Structure 1
Amino acid sequence: MYISLTGLKPKGFFAYLRFWLLAIPAFRQAQTAEGNLHCDVKKVHEYQCTITAWESRELMLTYLRSGAHLKAMKAFKQIATGPTYGYESESIPTWAEAYALITEKGKMH
């Protein structure tokens, strides 16, 4: 399965409001997207983090490039910063494992 991890930090008060206006529909889209096996969100330190597990990387990319998530990605540079990391795995990481992975191996945006 393909694991996708994000840790995003809004860039201020107004960015925080816009972040949530975009993040909630994108998360709901992920929950019902084809190929989604697991979807969770949690604040870890200063980051709003997500863990999603997918049947395949291709199905994750289909979600990533459509609907509410695409709209959120187009606004990303104005509203947030933070790392993302994706990888193949046999298991879904714990929150501690996920945070360690995005801080050690994640690509900053």
Structure 2
Amino acid sequence: MPYILAALVLLAFGTLLYRAYRQSGDLAVLLKGTALVGAGFLFVAFTRSMIVYKPLMVLHIAMILLYGYGVTVYLLQGRVRPFFLAAPLASLALFFAVAWLFRET
């Protein structure tokens, strides 16, 4: 079931990428959108590592949803929302800070 959902999300973002490219005709929009979608999948892949700290994992999943909203706004309207696009980086930084502070020596 998760693979079907991931395929549907990938298909939706692919459709949005194609629509944004056809609307603007600019290759930079397509490349930037592809990079944003690829970064989103990297954020999702990193979520499995965060299961050690469950509250941080829940926060990271919420930040990924904000990131998806930011990418969708960029692809539909062409407006970049830096807070939404940087949200998963904040949860990753918090994860590494907590791991560094509470490491076993």
Larger Rg: 2
Structure showing the higher helix proportion among its residues: 2
Q: Which has the bigger relative contact order, CA under 8 A and spacing at least 6? A: 1
TM-score over 0.5 (shorter chain): no
TM-score (norm 2): 0.39
Higher strand share: 1
